[in-house]
Amino acid sequence: MKAFIIDRYGKKDPMRLGDMPAPELRDDDVLIEVRAAGLNVLDSKIKSGDFKLILPYRMPLVPGHDVAGVVTRVGSRVRQLKVGDEVYSRVPDRRIGTLAQFIAVTESDVAPKPANLTMEEAAAIPLVGLTAWQALVEIAHLQKGQKVFIQAGSGGVGTLAIQLAKHVGATVATTTSSANIDLVKGLGADIVIDYRKDDFAKVLQNYDVVLHSQDAAALAKSLRVLKPGGTLISISGPPDPVFAKGIGAPWFVRLMVRLLSAGVRKKAARRGLKYSFLFMRADGHQLREITRLIEAGAIRPVIDRVFPFESANEALAYIEAGRAKGKVVVKIK
Protein backbone atom coordinates (compact mmCIF):
# COMPACT_ATOMS: atom_id res chain seq x y z
CA MET A 1 0.00 0.00 0.00
CA LYS A 2 1.04 3.61 -0.51
CA ALA A 3 2.00 5.54 2.62
CA PHE A 4 4.00 8.49 3.84
CA ILE A 5 7.06 7.24 5.71
CA ILE A 6 9.46 8.65 8.29
CA ASP A 7 12.88 6.98 8.07
CA ARG A 8 14.53 8.86 10.96
CA TYR A 9 13.63 11.49 13.53
CA GLY A 10 14.23 15.05 12.38
CA LYS A 11 12.52 18.37 11.74
CA LYS A 12 13.89 19.13 8.29
CA ASP A 13 13.67 15.82 6.42
CA PRO A 14 10.32 15.49 4.62
CA MET A 15 8.21 12.36 4.83
CA ARG A 16 8.79 9.92 1.99
CA LEU A 17 5.92 8.64 -0.16
CA GLY A 18 6.52 4.96 -0.73
CA ASP A 19 5.24 1.41 -0.35
CA MET A 20 4.61 -0.32 2.97
CA PRO A 21 3.21 -3.79 3.73
CA ALA A 22 -0.53 -3.92 4.29
CA PRO A 23 -1.38 -3.99 8.03
CA GLU A 24 -1.75 -7.34 9.76
CA LEU A 25 -5.24 -7.88 11.15
CA ARG A 26 -5.63 -9.13 14.74
CA ASP A 27 -8.71 -10.97 15.93
CA ASP A 28 -10.20 -7.83 17.51
CA ASP A 29 -9.20 -5.46 14.68
CA VAL A 30 -11.01 -3.85 11.80
CA LEU A 31 -9.15 -2.97 8.62
CA ILE A 32 -10.05 0.54 7.49
CA GLU A 33 -9.61 1.86 3.97
CA VAL A 34 -8.51 5.42 4.73
CA ARG A 35 -10.55 8.14 3.03
CA ALA A 36 -9.26 11.07 5.09
CA ALA A 37 -6.62 11.63 7.79
CA GLY A 38 -6.55 14.55 10.20
CA LEU A 39 -3.13 15.97 11.01
CA ASN A 40 -2.11 17.42 14.37
CA VAL A 41 0.78 19.20 16.05
CA LEU A 42 1.44 15.83 17.72
CA ASP A 43 2.34 14.33 14.32
CA SER A 44 4.99 17.00 13.82
CA LYS A 45 6.40 16.49 17.32
CA ILE A 46 6.66 12.73 16.80
CA LYS A 47 8.42 13.25 13.46
CA SER A 48 10.88 15.60 15.17
CA GLY A 49 11.59 13.10 17.94
CA ASP A 50 10.18 15.24 20.75
CA PHE A 51 8.48 12.23 22.35
CA LYS A 52 11.03 9.52 21.61
CA LEU A 53 11.84 8.99 25.31
CA ILE A 54 8.24 8.27 26.28
CA LEU A 55 6.98 6.97 22.92
CA PRO A 56 9.85 5.27 21.11
CA TYR A 57 8.91 4.14 17.60
CA ARG A 58 10.64 1.67 15.32
CA MET A 59 11.60 3.06 11.94
CA PRO A 60 10.43 3.21 9.21
CA LEU A 61 7.27 4.77 10.65
CA VAL A 62 3.99 5.80 9.04
CA PRO A 63 2.63 8.78 11.03
CA GLY A 64 -0.93 9.93 11.59
CA HIS A 65 -3.43 9.55 14.46
CA ASP A 66 -6.83 10.55 12.98
CA VAL A 67 -8.72 8.50 10.42
CA ALA A 68 -12.08 8.37 8.69
CA GLY A 69 -12.82 5.60 6.24
CA VAL A 70 -14.62 2.37 5.40
CA VAL A 71 -14.26 -1.03 7.06
CA THR A 72 -12.99 -3.58 4.50
CA ARG A 73 -12.21 -6.56 6.77
CA VAL A 74 -12.97 -7.58 10.35
CA GLY A 75 -11.24 -9.91 12.79
CA SER A 76 -12.86 -13.03 14.17
CA ARG A 77 -13.75 -11.39 17.52
CA VAL A 78 -15.24 -8.19 16.09
CA ARG A 79 -18.92 -7.90 17.01
CA GLN A 80 -20.12 -4.29 16.63
CA LEU A 81 -18.72 -3.36 13.22
CA LYS A 82 -19.00 -4.97 9.80
CA VAL A 83 -17.56 -4.64 6.32
CA GLY A 84 -18.88 -1.52 4.60
CA ASP A 85 -19.37 0.54 7.79
CA GLU A 86 -18.20 4.14 7.64
CA VAL A 87 -16.11 4.77 10.75
CA TYR A 88 -13.64 7.12 12.37
CA SER A 89 -10.99 6.80 15.06
CA ARG A 90 -8.07 8.26 16.92
CA VAL A 91 -5.79 5.24 16.64
CA PRO A 92 -3.72 4.12 19.68
CA ASP A 93 -0.24 5.56 20.19
CA ARG A 94 1.52 2.28 19.50
CA ARG A 95 -0.34 1.72 16.20
CA ILE A 96 -0.30 5.09 14.47
CA GLY A 97 -0.16 5.23 10.68
CA THR A 98 -3.21 6.94 9.16
CA LEU A 99 -1.21 8.60 6.36
CA ALA A 100 -1.65 5.43 4.32
CA GLN A 101 -4.23 3.66 2.18
CA PHE A 102 -5.15 1.21 4.97
CA ILE A 103 -4.83 0.92 8.73
CA ALA A 104 -5.79 -1.79 11.23
CA VAL A 105 -7.41 -0.53 14.44
CA THR A 106 -8.76 -2.33 17.51
CA GLU A 107 -12.57 -2.34 17.36
CA SER A 108 -12.86 -0.72 20.81
CA ASP A 109 -11.00 2.36 19.52
CA VAL A 110 -13.36 2.87 16.55
CA ALA A 111 -16.79 4.52 16.32
CA PRO A 112 -19.34 4.87 13.53
CA LYS A 113 -18.79 8.07 11.55
CA PRO A 114 -21.33 10.80 12.33
CA ALA A 115 -24.03 10.55 9.67
CA ASN A 116 -24.10 14.31 9.09
CA LEU A 117 -20.36 14.67 8.38
CA THR A 118 -18.24 14.07 5.30
CA MET A 119 -15.15 11.88 5.58
CA GLU A 120 -12.95 14.98 5.69
CA GLU A 121 -15.06 16.55 8.45
CA ALA A 122 -15.07 13.32 10.45
CA ALA A 123 -11.27 13.00 10.21
CA ALA A 124 -10.98 16.42 11.85
CA ILE A 125 -12.68 15.27 15.05
CA PRO A 126 -11.11 12.31 16.91
CA LEU A 127 -7.88 13.55 18.51
CA VAL A 128 -9.07 17.06 19.34
CA GLY A 129 -12.56 15.90 20.28
CA LEU A 130 -11.24 13.26 22.67
CA THR A 131 -8.73 15.74 24.10
CA ALA A 132 -11.53 18.17 24.90
CA TRP A 133 -13.72 15.39 26.33
CA GLN A 134 -11.01 13.87 28.52
CA ALA A 135 -9.94 17.30 29.81
CA LEU A 136 -13.32 18.87 30.50
CA VAL A 137 -15.59 15.89 31.21
CA GLU A 138 -13.30 13.16 32.53
CA ILE A 139 -10.70 15.16 34.51
CA ALA A 140 -12.34 18.51 35.32
CA HIS A 141 -15.93 17.23 35.65
CA LEU A 142 -17.02 20.59 34.23
CA GLN A 143 -20.51 21.59 35.40
CA LYS A 144 -23.21 23.99 34.31
CA GLY A 145 -22.56 27.47 35.72
CA GLN A 146 -18.80 26.99 36.14
CA LYS A 147 -16.19 29.13 34.41
CA VAL A 148 -13.53 27.67 32.12
CA PHE A 149 -10.59 29.37 30.39
CA ILE A 150 -9.59 27.63 27.15
CA GLN A 151 -6.35 28.89 25.65
CA ALA A 152 -5.87 29.22 21.89
CA GLY A 153 -9.56 29.07 21.05
CA SER A 154 -9.08 29.04 17.28
CA GLY A 155 -6.81 25.98 17.31
CA GLY A 156 -7.83 22.38 16.77
CA VAL A 157 -8.43 21.54 20.43
CA GLY A 158 -9.74 25.01 21.26
CA THR A 159 -12.50 25.01 18.66
CA LEU A 160 -13.87 21.70 19.98
CA ALA A 161 -13.35 22.50 23.66
CA ILE A 162 -15.28 25.78 23.41
CA GLN A 163 -18.28 24.00 21.90
CA LEU A 164 -18.18 21.16 24.44
CA ALA A 165 -17.93 23.57 27.37
CA LYS A 166 -20.90 25.61 26.08
CA HIS A 167 -22.91 22.42 25.64
CA VAL A 168 -22.24 21.60 29.31
CA GLY A 169 -23.45 25.08 30.26
CA ALA A 170 -20.19 26.70 31.36
CA THR A 171 -19.05 30.29 30.86
CA VAL A 172 -16.14 30.19 28.41
CA ALA A 173 -13.19 32.56 28.11
CA THR A 174 -10.53 32.13 25.44
CA THR A 175 -7.54 33.76 23.78
CA THR A 176 -6.99 34.29 20.06
CA SER A 177 -5.78 36.88 17.58
CA SER A 178 -8.03 39.71 16.41
CA ALA A 179 -8.53 37.95 13.07
CA ASN A 180 -10.23 35.00 14.78
CA ILE A 181 -12.45 36.77 17.30
CA ASP A 182 -15.61 36.27 15.24
CA LEU A 183 -14.77 32.58 14.77
CA VAL A 184 -14.47 31.79 18.49
CA LYS A 185 -17.50 33.91 19.38
CA GLY A 186 -19.46 31.95 16.79
CA LEU A 187 -18.43 28.74 18.53
CA GLY A 188 -19.78 30.04 21.84
CA ALA A 189 -16.96 31.87 23.62
CA ASP A 190 -18.35 34.43 26.09
CA ILE A 191 -15.11 36.32 26.79
CA VAL A 192 -12.49 36.69 24.06
CA ILE A 193 -9.04 38.11 24.79
CA ASP A 194 -6.74 39.27 21.98
CA TYR A 195 -3.46 37.78 23.19
CA ARG A 196 -1.47 40.38 21.24
CA LYS A 197 -3.08 43.27 23.11
CA ASP A 198 -4.15 42.05 26.54
CA ASP A 199 -2.80 39.89 29.35
CA PHE A 200 -5.38 37.24 30.25
CA ALA A 201 -4.10 37.09 33.83
CA LYS A 202 -5.19 40.72 34.32
CA VAL A 203 -8.65 40.12 32.83
CA LEU A 204 -9.72 36.76 34.25
CA GLN A 205 -10.20 35.70 37.87
CA ASN A 206 -11.95 33.06 39.99
CA TYR A 207 -12.12 30.45 37.23
CA ASP A 208 -12.93 26.82 37.96
CA VAL A 209 -10.93 25.23 35.12
CA VAL A 210 -8.08 26.20 32.80
CA LEU A 211 -7.25 24.16 29.70
CA HIS A 212 -3.61 25.10 29.04
CA SER A 213 -1.96 24.56 25.66
CA GLN A 214 0.71 27.26 25.48
CA ASP A 215 4.20 27.92 26.90
CA ALA A 216 5.62 27.93 30.42
CA ALA A 217 4.95 31.65 30.92
CA ALA A 218 1.24 31.14 30.18
CA LEU A 219 1.23 28.13 32.50
CA ALA A 220 2.49 30.22 35.43
CA LYS A 221 -0.07 32.95 34.76
CA SER A 222 -2.86 30.39 34.44
CA LEU A 223 -2.48 29.46 38.10
CA ARG A 224 -3.40 33.04 39.02
CA VAL A 225 -6.78 33.02 37.26
CA LEU A 226 -8.06 29.94 39.13
CA LYS A 227 -10.00 30.07 42.35
CA PRO A 228 -9.04 27.80 45.28
CA GLY A 229 -9.97 24.23 44.44
CA GLY A 230 -9.71 24.95 40.72
CA THR A 231 -8.18 22.62 38.15
CA LEU A 232 -5.36 23.34 35.70
CA ILE A 233 -5.15 20.81 32.88
CA SER A 234 -2.17 21.07 30.54
CA ILE A 235 -1.88 19.40 27.15
CA SER A 236 1.50 21.00 26.41
CA GLY A 237 3.43 19.97 29.52
CA PRO A 238 5.16 19.49 31.74
CA PRO A 239 4.10 15.85 32.15
CA ASP A 240 3.44 14.72 35.70
CA PRO A 241 4.24 11.52 37.66
CA VAL A 242 0.70 10.15 37.17
CA PHE A 243 1.20 10.26 33.40
CA ALA A 244 4.66 8.64 33.58
CA LYS A 245 3.30 5.82 35.73
CA GLY A 246 0.30 5.34 33.43
CA ILE A 247 2.46 4.72 30.35
CA GLY A 248 4.79 2.39 32.24
CA ALA A 249 7.80 4.66 31.73
CA PRO A 250 11.21 3.40 32.96
CA TRP A 251 12.52 4.72 36.28
CA PHE A 252 14.81 7.36 34.78
CA VAL A 253 11.96 8.82 32.71
CA ARG A 254 9.72 8.86 35.82
CA LEU A 255 12.44 10.71 37.71
CA MET A 256 12.89 13.22 34.89
CA VAL A 257 9.15 13.82 34.68
CA ARG A 258 8.91 14.30 38.45
CA LEU A 259 11.66 16.93 38.33
CA LEU A 260 10.24 18.71 35.28
CA SER A 261 6.81 19.13 36.84
CA ALA A 262 7.91 19.76 40.42
CA GLY A 263 7.71 23.55 40.12
CA VAL A 264 4.18 23.80 38.77
CA ARG A 265 2.90 21.07 41.09
CA LYS A 266 4.29 22.87 44.15
CA LYS A 267 2.86 26.23 43.03
CA ALA A 268 -0.53 24.62 42.42
CA ALA A 269 -0.51 22.92 45.81
CA ARG A 270 0.34 26.17 47.60
CA ARG A 271 -2.71 27.80 45.99
CA GLY A 272 -4.99 24.85 46.74
CA LEU A 273 -5.22 23.92 43.05
CA LYS A 274 -5.10 20.65 41.14
CA TYR A 275 -2.61 20.19 38.28
CA SER A 276 -3.01 17.45 35.66
CA PHE A 277 -1.09 16.72 32.48
CA LEU A 278 -3.21 15.18 29.72
CA PHE A 279 -1.75 13.09 26.92
CA MET A 280 -5.02 12.00 25.42
CA ARG A 281 -5.72 8.35 24.60
CA ALA A 282 -7.79 6.51 22.03
CA ASP A 283 -11.30 5.62 23.24
CA GLY A 284 -14.06 4.42 20.96
CA HIS A 285 -16.75 4.67 23.65
CA GLN A 286 -16.04 8.35 24.26
CA LEU A 287 -15.93 8.92 20.52
CA ARG A 288 -19.46 7.48 20.27
CA GLU A 289 -20.56 10.05 22.88
CA ILE A 290 -19.01 12.78 20.76
CA THR A 291 -20.78 11.35 17.69
CA ARG A 292 -24.13 11.81 19.44
CA LEU A 293 -23.32 15.46 20.17
CA ILE A 294 -22.29 16.03 16.55
CA GLU A 295 -25.44 14.43 15.16
CA ALA A 296 -27.52 16.51 17.59
CA GLY A 297 -25.88 19.69 16.30
CA ALA A 298 -24.10 20.57 19.55
CA ILE A 299 -20.60 20.28 18.07
CA ARG A 300 -19.28 20.84 14.57
CA PRO A 301 -15.79 20.42 13.11
CA VAL A 302 -13.77 23.47 12.13
CA ILE A 303 -11.49 22.81 9.14
CA ASP A 304 -8.90 25.24 7.87
CA ARG A 305 -7.67 23.39 4.77
CA VAL A 306 -7.96 20.02 3.06
CA PHE A 307 -4.84 18.83 1.22
CA PRO A 308 -4.61 16.00 -1.33
CA PHE A 309 -2.73 12.89 -0.20
CA GLU A 310 0.28 13.71 -2.37
CA SER A 311 0.67 17.03 -0.50
CA ALA A 312 0.91 15.59 3.02
CA ASN A 313 4.32 17.22 3.58
CA GLU A 314 2.85 20.60 2.69
CA ALA A 315 -0.05 19.93 5.09
CA LEU A 316 2.35 19.17 7.95
CA ALA A 317 4.39 22.30 7.17
CA TYR A 318 1.19 24.34 7.26
CA ILE A 319 0.46 23.04 10.77
CA GLU A 320 4.01 23.75 11.88
CA ALA A 321 3.61 27.39 10.81
CA GLY A 322 1.09 27.73 13.68
CA ARG A 323 -1.60 29.65 11.83
CA ALA A 324 -4.22 26.97 11.20
CA LYS A 325 -7.76 27.76 12.30
CA GLY A 326 -9.24 24.49 13.47
CA LYS A 327 -7.94 21.38 11.74
CA VAL A 328 -5.89 20.41 8.69
CA VAL A 329 -7.00 17.28 6.84
CA VAL A 330 -5.46 15.10 4.13
CA LYS A 331 -7.88 13.55 1.64
CA ILE A 332 -6.98 10.11 0.31
CA LYS A 333 -8.59 8.98 -2.93
- The verdict on 215 and 116 lying in the same domain is no
Statement: residue 206 has pLDDT above 90: yes
- The verdict on 119 and 16 lying in the same domain is yes
- The verdict on 112 and 131 lying in the same domain is no
CATH label of the domain that carries residue 169: 3.40.50.720
- Give the span between the Cα atoms of 188 and 148, in whole angstroms: 12
Statement: residue 132 has pLDDT above 90: yes
Statement: residue 15 has pLDDT above 90: yes
Statement: residue 333 has pLDDT above 90: no
Q: Environment class of residue 333 by beta-carbon count within 10 Å: exposed (0-12), middle (13-18) or buried (19+)? A: exposed
Tell whether 290 is covered by a domain: no
- The verdict on 138 and 109 lying in the same domain is no
pLDDT at residue 323 in the model: 83
- Give the span between the Cα atoms of 114 and 121, in whole angstroms: 9
Statement: residue 53 has pLDDT above 90: no
- The verdict on 172 and 252 lying in the same domain is yes
Statement: residue 299 has pLDDT above 90: yes
The one-character DSSP state at 65 is -
Tell whether 251 is covered by a domain: yes
Structural domain span for residue 144: 127-277
How many domains is the chain partitioned into structurally?
2
Cβ atoms of 126 and 92 closer than 8 Å: no
Q: Environment class of residue 206 by beta-carbon count within 10 Å: exposed (0-12), middle (13-18) or buried (19+)? A: exposed
pLDDT at residue 54 in the model: 84
Tell whether 291 is covered by a domain: no
Cβ atoms of 147 and 328 closer than 8 Å: no
pLDDT at residue 265 in the model: 96
Question: What is the tens place of the pLDDT at every residue in 224-235?
Answer: 999 999 999 999
Tell whether 283 is covered by a domain: no
Count of CB atoms situated within 10 Å of the CB of 323: 12
Q: pTM here?
A: 0.97
In percent, how much of the chain has pLDDT > 90? Answer: 93
